[in-house]
């Protein structure tokens, strides 16, 4: 699975909304500024997430976006599947977005067998990790010191 820029921006927006879950709404400009996401693109992404029931919006001068459900109830898989489709690296191993492959014997294909394991690992992680956990990881990482001499040759 390769996450597109759209998918990455969606997760970054969800992170900001999760970190600010205690606030009534977060302005789109705030998300855009904090995560360096073009505002017009972010609007499209948030509208897609709204149609999935992941975020809610409030219109007007005091408007903005918020998570539609508690961050503990929103998995990364939910958002990514809605925006990107399959979590599988190839269509022939996807359970929700199956596509027939071009190999001569799908049932005995070694490559498909490996790709199925890859899909299972990705799905396991993406369905386990919630926006709440993403926020917790972000908080912990922000507390770690930055080591400018951490490099390898």
Q: Where do the domains of the chain lie? A: 5-143
Q: Cα separation of 64 and 29, whole Å?
A: 9
Q: Which fold has domain 5-143?
A: Arc Repressor Mutant, subunit A (1.10.10)
Q: Cα separation of 14 and 53, whole Å?
A: 13
Per-residue model confidence as pLDDT tens digits over 36-50: 999 999 999 999 999
Is residue 48 left, alpha or beta, with left meaning phi > 0 and alpha meaning psi from -120 to 50?
alpha
Per-residue model confidence as pLDDT tens digits over 97-130: 877 887 888 788 888 888 888 888 988 999 999 9
Q: Is the pLDDT of residue 151 over 70?
A: no
Comparing 94 with 13, which gets the higher pLDDT?
13
Q: Is the pLDDT of residue 31 over 80?
A: yes
Query: Looking at residue 93, what is its pLDDT?
Result: 77
Query: Looking at residue 150, what is its pLDDT?
Result: 63
């Amino acid at each position: 699975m390769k996450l597109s820029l759209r998918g990455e921006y969606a997760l970054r927006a969800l992170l900001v909304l999760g970190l600010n879950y205690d606030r009534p709404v977060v302005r789109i400009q705030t998300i855009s500024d904090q995560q360096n996401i073009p505002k017009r693109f972010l609007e499209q992404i948030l509208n897609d997430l709204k149609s999935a029931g992941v975020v809610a919006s409030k219109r007007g001068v005091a408007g903005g976006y918020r998570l539609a459900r508690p961050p503990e109830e929103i998995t990364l898989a939910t958002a990514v599947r809605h925006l990107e489709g399959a979590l599988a690296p190839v269509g022939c191993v996807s359970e929700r977005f199956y596509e027939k492959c071009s190999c001569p014997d799908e049932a005995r294909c070694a490559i498909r067998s490996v790709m199925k394991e890859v899909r299972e690992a990705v799905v396991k992680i993406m369905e386990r990790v919630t926006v709440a956990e993403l926020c917790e990881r972000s908080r912990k990482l922000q507390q770690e010191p930055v080591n400018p001499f951490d490099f390898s040759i």
